[in-house]
Structure 1
Amino acid sequence: MLNPVIQPGHLTELDRFIFESWGYFIIPDVLSEDEVAACLAASKRLHEAAGTPAFGQIGRGYETEPALEHLIDHPAVLPKIRGLYGDRFILQAGWNTKQPAHGPMGGWHQDGSGAYDFKKLGHPIPLLQLRASFLLNDQTRPRMGNMELIPGSHRSLVGLPEGVRRGESEEARAVPIGHVICATAGSVLIFHNAVWHRTYAHDGDYDRYTMHMIYSPPWVRSSDRLHNDPAFLQRTTPLRRAFMGEFDRPDAPYGAGYTPPPFDNE
């Protein structure tokens, strides 16, 4: 099976071609077993504290869970984000999702804003949310709570038919060019907001967790918070503080005086 697998670190010209062609790529085995275990334990704490009954997502977990905070600027992933966005972007949200044991197939959708449909901005839909999904459970076979995406659909001028999106059965919602992502725990899927995707069915008797870090241009409003926690800003790194949107705007709002985040190589 074709699989857009790339190596960690610097975004190569081939990486960019793959992303522009498919709308996503996979970096395998980014996290060690110990890191996966720590992130999985943190995810369970978040959802247990919130009382998530079934499928659900919780934002801002990076503020209280150091293992998740470390993912904000992970060295295997951050160069890809910079390569696609340049040096000026923020962490628009950090959503930790839980799919319950024996969870059903999700619905097809594109990421964006319910307040303003990204399709109104132009065709093809611009890159406004770049999602890095850290897989915290093994998903090496289908029906393990995988993500299913339609390669290249971020460039399509035709939307997915409503009958497929709202079909009443798995058969009705099936798309013959859907790609079920099969990867080990600790791998990272990075994808464009306009790629049509859905959560695949989960047949296991355990809950599945994924940590999604979502990056956007600096003028996009955060979606997992209305404000940043002052205590978190006080203790985190200058780079992560900048990714929270806490930077100076001398030429309001984002003019020539906007200083990019303090990357280590600058």
Structure 2
Amino acid sequence: MSAETYAGLNALSEPGEFTELDRFMFESWGYLVIPNVLTAEEAQECLEAATRLHEKEGTTGWAQVGRGFETEPVLDRLIDHPAVLPKVRALYGDRFILQSAWCTKQPAFGGFGGWHQDGSGAYDFKQLGYPIPLLQLRASFLLTDQSLPRMGNMEMIPGSHRAQVPLPQDIRREKADLPIGQVICAPAGSVLLFHNAVWHRTYVHDGDYDRYTMHYIYSPPWVRFSDRFENDKDYLARTTPVRRYLAGEYERPDAPFGAGYPAAAFDDKKDN
């Protein structure tokens, strides 16, 4: 199958505004692909930052490192990127947090990942109701080229966030192929925005280099952080008010989500 055929199957969106077509595609398939959010130079800078994070942690094999935005300014700037943030706000309203930010590395010649839905290991989101609610909205910035299959792409099962039955256990155990799996093909600098309940996996990687992706996960304000126990105070002092708000740092003068919950910090003139 050609790259053009794969690209034609993607729910393609434009940077910025969350359009009515975006909403229909997201509700129908559970994800959007936004090509060319970052320039080649910006993607390279973010790739270098991602590599530093993993080198500092000494990771091997498939690995992920959290909260890199606290030490890498180029990754901090992606938290409220104007190509993505309006879509997050359209889905959540203006009160949500950055629950986590994971920088993942798939090693050279890496194999298939396992089929899964995102969620909490402590409490399965499907227990909350049907359809599974949007509790983790993931914006994945591709930092290495994934414009062809077998480049460490994400593979999605479109519409599976609405499925009333789980993916069969034998398919999950064997990491088997599915006729309805969609391999996401997009160049470095593109963003995949998807619902936590979409079944997905990491596709095989044939390259002789490590594949990096920077994931930003947005959640309702009462969801606990998953990549940190608290925010770094030095980071909070130097970042912007919007990012500090998204990091979950704000005053709660009476009760956690009572009348004293602060107004949103967004400046629409900048974000739209």
Fold in common (TM above 0.5): yes
Q: Do structure 1's residue 132 and structure 2's residue 120 form an aligned pair? A: no
Q: Which residue of 2 aligns with 1:238?
A: 241
Q: CA deviation at 1:101?
A: 0.2
Which of 197, 200, 203 is matched with 2:203 structurally? 200
Q: Which residue of 2 aligns with 1:24?
A: 31
Asked if 2 retains the 8 angstrom alpha-carbon contact of 1:4 and 1:25, the reply is yes
Asked if 2 retains the 8 angstrom alpha-carbon contact of 1:91 and 1:213, the reply is yes
Asked if 2 retains the 8 angstrom alpha-carbon contact of 1:23 and 1:192, the reply is yes
Whole-Å Cα distance in 1 between the matches of residues 254 and 200 of structure 2?
38
Which of 60, 84, 104 is matched with 2:111 structurally? 104
TM-score of the two chains, using structure 1 as the length reference: 0.97
Whole-Å Cα distance in 1 between the matches of residues 172 and 268 of structure 2?
45
Q: CA deviation at 1:252?
A: 1.2
The aligned amino acid for 1:208 is R
**Cα deviation per residue 1:13-66 (whole Å; 9 max; x = unaligned)?**
111111000000001000011110110000000001111111000001000000
Q: CA deviation at 1:262?
A: 1.0
| Aligned positions of 1:27-42 closer than 5 A | 27-42=34-49
| Aligned positions of 1:91-240 closer than 5 A | 91-167=98-174, 173-240=176-243
Q: Which residue of 1 aligns with 2:88?
A: 81
Q: CA deviation at 1:251?
A: 4.0
SS of the residue 2:69 aligns to = helix
**Cα deviation per residue 1:223-260 (whole Å; 9 max; x = unaligned)?**
00001000000000011001111012234111233223
Could you list the structure 1 runs, at least 4 aligned residues long, displaced by more than 6 angstroms after superposition: none
The aligned amino acid for 1:227 is E
TM-score of the two chains, using structure 2 as the length reference: 0.95
**Cα deviation per residue 1:180-210 (whole Å; 9 max; x = unaligned)?**
0000100000000000000000000000000
Q: CA deviation at 1:2?
A: 1.9
How many residue pairs match? The answer is 262
Whole-Å Cα distance in 2 between the matches of residues 141 and 230 of structure 1?
41
How well do the aligned residues superpose, as a CA RMSD in angstroms? 1.0
Q: Unpaired runs of 5+ in structure 2?
A: 1-7
Q: CA deviation at 1:133?
A: 0.1
Whole-Å Cα distance in 1 between the matches of residues 145 and 207 of structure 2?
11
